[in-house]
Structure 1
């Protein structure tokens, strides 16, 4: 009897260990457990704007060439400005994109935000413009006037900080929320008195739209260009993000070394004149870099100011959404 009990106990233990081993093996082989930063996805969805060098990267096909080696298909999605691009990112529709500082803050403050900061680019030219014949000569003259800008865009912050130099706030003007294409039409028709905008739309308005710069962003608080990503995607597929940054860096170098050729390609794809792109390229910085303390601090100032004005519902720490810092 004792021998039978002993044999039964040994057999039960063996079966239990075998079952545990099968369970562990199944767990290790499951897709959820095998996914890591060393894996590659089937697709990469990239959001771009006509004002960003991501467009140049798209047309050159450099990203596709690098990622197809790993079976990754690249899909591109165009947006007029940062806010709608970031809405798509938070909705899981795109994985990586380029935006200005202000829209990134708004996206990070959004409940359930999926945004992470990956890298930054130097500022692009931004300004508030008025018609050449306008009687508006100073920022103070904007009081009570109709000013067009994209809500939550980099131009929003440019306008805010420009008004503060004259002791004004956004409440002192009539705010007209318009995307670049609609704002250009309203500006030329005289439906608005001023327009806050960035290159290449700014350069186009200066050359072809009868615009005069009232104040530019030089001397105003800095606002960098930012490469951002969807948190879950970037953490799982960090190698993809690294490839994107590397190829964007090559694009910056290529444009900087051959601006005339770049202007021709960008003009063809955007239907914005070659001379406009030459003007745009001549007055911007180049390169893609890891986030620095200076950039993070500049982004934090935007966040703090937006919270003070009630433009975001809660305080945020920009650093909490930074993937890598230099």
Structure 2
């Protein structure tokens, strides 16, 4: 009898604690009210900018409890993924290679949609004699940091053509620093995403000689990454995020001039340069994640061989969750 009374008292006390908010239940999880988005100042990721500047992020996500949307600019993908690893971002527009290294480091996130493919150029100074990848041996080339799309594509292209990347002086730079470096003749060439190649060409400081789609046809470039926490706790919100992304992608493809104007307003870059970039690049804005799975898994293999993933060879299930997109697109 005494034992029964003690258990009954404990049960009453537990109910009281829950009622007072001292203990939580699964249904008590705090709803997200601010969505934090990472992006880079590249025409590759103009879908994020369109959705932001047109007010679609906030309008579309308000019914799911979102009261504020903040976006944060990063110079390249690796630092953006470090921010996500640190818990500072909920979703990210980013090249498809940096999440591979980040997930290998323990990032709880997956690729849920494609953003764009191809879209980077190798640009050499006008006075540099370029005659294929072997002519770059001994040259100084600036590109994004190790583990980025540009670093991965460039190094694989060199290896595919029998060139040891160690035979070049490959310098890690963000796009602004790389544009400055080639303009000041501190590097012989750069391999950068648009609009940087157009900025360099229109200033007369370089000539695009190889597009990334020639190096690696139809390679994945940017993707949409969502935190695992958001996917588990707010699946309907994630579905709407993908719907809004698809809407913005379709808008860009139907209204490239308007997209160029939005990009210019967001980044304070020259409209003529941005229009030239959109006309001249070999990229394409897409949203279906299934289109990029083959090249992303190849990125994972290349990054594993380059030593960027700590000895971990990641596969499709490690990197992708296509179920949200599939539900939205069905």
Regarding TM over 0.5, the answer is yes
Contact 1:35 1:236 in 2 (8 A): no
Contact 1:47 1:77 in 2 (8 A): yes
Aligned to 2:38: 47
> Could you say which structure has the larger radius of gyration?
1
Map residues 1-326 of structure 1 onto 2, 5 A cutoff: 9=1, 13=4, 16-17=7-8, 19-20=10-11, 23=14, 30-34=23-27, 40-51=31-42, 52-53=45-46, 54-72=48-66, 73-110=68-105, 112-151=106-145, 152-221=147-216, 222-282=219-279, 283=281, 284-289=283-288, 291-292=289-290, 295-318=292-315, 319-325=317-323, 326=326
Q: Which sits farther off after the overlay, 280-289 or 116-125?
A: 280-289
Measured after TM superposition, the shift of residue 242 of structure 1 is 1.9
Aligned residues, how many?
312
User: Secondary structure of the equivalent of 1:129?
Assistant: strand
Distance 2:132 2:201 in 1: 17
Contact 1:40 1:70 in 2 (8 A): no
Distance 1:45 1:309 in 2: 31
User: Secondary structure of the equivalent of 1:92?
Assistant: coil
Distance 1:27 1:276 in 2: 60
Closer, same or farther: CA 185–224 of 1 in aligned 2, 3 Å: closer
Closer, same or farther: CA 156–134 of 1 in aligned 2, 3 Å: same
Distance 2:15 2:313 in 1: 40
Contact 2:123 2:207 in 1 (8 A): yes
Measured after TM superposition, the shift of residue 105 of structure 1 is 1.5
Can you list the C-alpha shifts for 1:248-307, whole angstroms capped at 9, x where unaligned? 211112222222222122112222222332233344323322x32x52332121111122
Unaligned runs of 5+ in 2: none
TM-score (normalizing by structure 2): 0.85
Distance 2:85 2:25 in 1: 22
Can you list the C-alpha shifts for 1:218-238, whole angstroms capped at 9, x where unaligned? 233312321012222332222
Q: Compute the RMSD of aligned alpha carbons.
A: 2.4
